[in-house]
Amino acid sequence: MQDLRISLVQGATRWHDPAANREYYGALLEPLAGNTDLVILPETFTSGFSNEAIDEAEGMDGPTVAWIRAQAASLDAAVTGSVQLRAEGGVFNRLLWATPDGSLQYYDKRHLFRYAGEHKRYAAGDRRLSVEWKGWRINPLVCYDLRFPVYSRNRYDVEREAELDFDLQIFVANWPAARAYAWKTLLRARAIENLCYVAAVNRVGVDGNGLEYSGDSAVIDFLGQPLIETTGEEGVV
């Protein structure tokens, strides 16, 4: 398994402004061309975490899907992050996984954040996603999924002759600073119990609801030891 160069994009997402966010994140990503294998954006990176963003939800043929595909091609890297997207069955908090060859896969957030009423406006996903990239088997998840260890379990795969399902688990999030200790603790727990690497990206700044985000994006090894830790600075690591 080769080394995997991961870029954590810890941005201050603009509130309910998809066009401005595509421009903003595009500027952050541009210097990464040729220097990374995997770019991870935050949850709902075109709008911020808002139930009202459902009114702005694009389709799979919209500008954000085209944008993330173009970013993957120009960077020669896989690019992932979640957005609100309208599809058959409702509007989903959908993680997109784009690769340089133009292919696109997606995962719909399974565990909607009921305390904020996300379940009243958005549809929940019903399947996990597993992707292979640069020799790594990867399982991407979204924010509140982090609190459900059974769902994120690294299962033993008999067909792979004693291999577990994945080598790396990804979490993209809008996780408020008030619960930062839980975020950091649960990331380590998932790495330890699943015997896998974890890469997690959280946004920074203050959103339109007045919630503050402290970033704390990280890469953690399978022993629970941090390889990369950030604080509240805006930028790419």
Q: What pLDDT digit, counting tens, does each position of 145-165 carry?
A: 999 999 999 998 667 666 899
Q: Please say if 109 is a catalytic residue.
A: yes
Instruction: State how far the Cα of 217 lies from the Cα of 10, in Å rounded to an integer.
Output: 7
| List 118, 143, 184, 196, catalytic entry | 143
> Looking at residue 1, what is its pLDDT?
81
Q: Token pair of 7, please?
A: 């870029």
> Looking at residue 160, what is its pLDDT?
66
User: Could you tell me whether strands 104-108 and 90-98 are parallel, antiparallel, or unpaired per DSSP bridges?
Assistant: antiparallel
Q: Give me the domains of the chain, ranges plus CATH numbers.
A: 6-236 (3.60.110.10)
Over residues 36-56, the pLDDT tens digits come to 999 999 999 999 999 888 888
> Looking at residue 102, what is its pLDDT?
97
User: Could you tell me whether strands 104-108 and 197-202 are parallel, antiparallel, or unpaired per DSSP bridges?
Assistant: unpaired
| Contacts of residue 34, Cβ cutoff 8 Å, sequence gap at least 6 | 75, 76
| List 43, 118, 184, 196, catalytic entry | 43
pTM of the model: 0.96
Q: Please say if 163 is a catalytic residue.
A: no
Our CA angle for 144, 44, 61, nearest 5°, is 125
Q: What are the beta bridge partners of residue 168?
A: 138, 197
| List 30, 52, 109, 163, catalytic entry | 109
For the chain, list residues with pLDDT below 50: none
